Homo-oligomer: A and B are copies of this chain.
């Protein structure tokens, strides 16, 4: 601002004032008109806010896209080595399926253009997305394809969540078919209710800034349904005993955690949806700070909780999941809370992660990477706490959103998982599972030269 005033003064000093003194000639009139028109053209043509908004989507989308690598590393690090190549490949292929399906039907279903009840289900919205004329400014104030790209990487995130939970005992083809339905239909319908201006938004003033419920819980519910229907890995539970199956590559899991943390600044920050004004970029920046504080809270709370529960021993994978739990918790409302409140919201998420893991084991729900605690449980927590800091949301409205999403995703996911189970089958044979999916389905190994103990 000081700079701007400085320029103003300099500008005034430099201005050819001498030209404008008489009472006065046409030339001067012309000059004013010319200069005004040129300025209007320059301001309009440089499209500063339009470019700034589009950059937000592109850069945000870019690092959310990179979260696919984060999920891949986290999951490849937390499965046993005999499934690590398959898990890596699944993450590459699921990202591809998600991109394809979101183009074919997903985007148009999720953003139907006008909001009606169950707008996401209207058959008129099916069909591939097209960005339209590149030479004109879009009415939305940003480049259409930048928005498509940004929304597409969100749907891929939902799909990545599922792959971690059901790792090590699902065949690749049924998994990808489920991914196709999730990204072509399930997620888009849920998103349409809120971000498409539909039922939850218009009737319940449901508030989910960047998708604690819409993205993370949707992925989490689909993962939970899958884990129950597919069943646990063979040997995981014998009677009341839980047999630990430790991850094969913890440094890769740490890398995955950092990549997810990195990408989350785009996930939450770019969900401000605009960056062309001071108020918008101030908000984007505050979201960056709050997002980081929530992850910090999640890590430190998970650390302290594991130290208390496990008598001084820390658990690296729970601490990594604490970061993710903290991040999911702040995703529903990363702007309104103060930084201190963001730490607390994230910290509760971190605690929830640590206490949920044994709970799942009690029910013999085998979640290989801990995605259900981090994405589903923390997604619910983050969504339900929004009204504390955002007066535009109500606890009732939030509860309706959480419940409706849960019911819908569980029902449709169950139908798909059961249909797959009773047709092409979802599990590999006992021998294949024992041998590992790398050799069974890929014909190679993740680490062929490192002997297993």
Contact = CB atoms under 8 A, between A and B. Distances in A.
Contact of A251 (B24, B58, B88, B146): B88
Interface in A46-93: 46-52, 54-55, 57-59, 61-63, 65-66, 68-69, 72-73, 76-77, 80-81, 84-89, 91-93
A42 to B, nearest CB: 5
A11 B449 contact: no
A339 B248 contact: no
The number of times this chain is found in the oligomer is: 3
Contact of A143 (B135, B137, B278): B278
A262 B62 contact: yes
Contacts of A288: 58, 61-62, 145-146, 149
A251 B73 contact: yes
B51 A89 contact: no
Interface stretch (A97-105, A353-361, A372-380, A410-418): A97-105
Given A49-B46, A300-B97, A448-B248, A11 B24 contact: no
Contacts of A247: 444, 448
Interface in A16-50: 16-17, 19-50
Contact of A33 (B15, B320, B443): B15
B15 A250 contact: no
Contacts of A35: 36, 40
A421 interface: no
Interface string A262-283: 1001000100000111110111
A296 B262 contact: no
Interface residues of A, number: 163
B63 A7 contact: no
B89 A262 contact: no
A14 B32 contact: no
A186 to B, nearest CB: 19
A144 B282 contact: yes
Interface stretch (A114-122, A162-170, A253-261, A389-397): A253-261
B282 A135 contact: yes
Contacts of A430: none
Interface string A240-254: 000000111111111
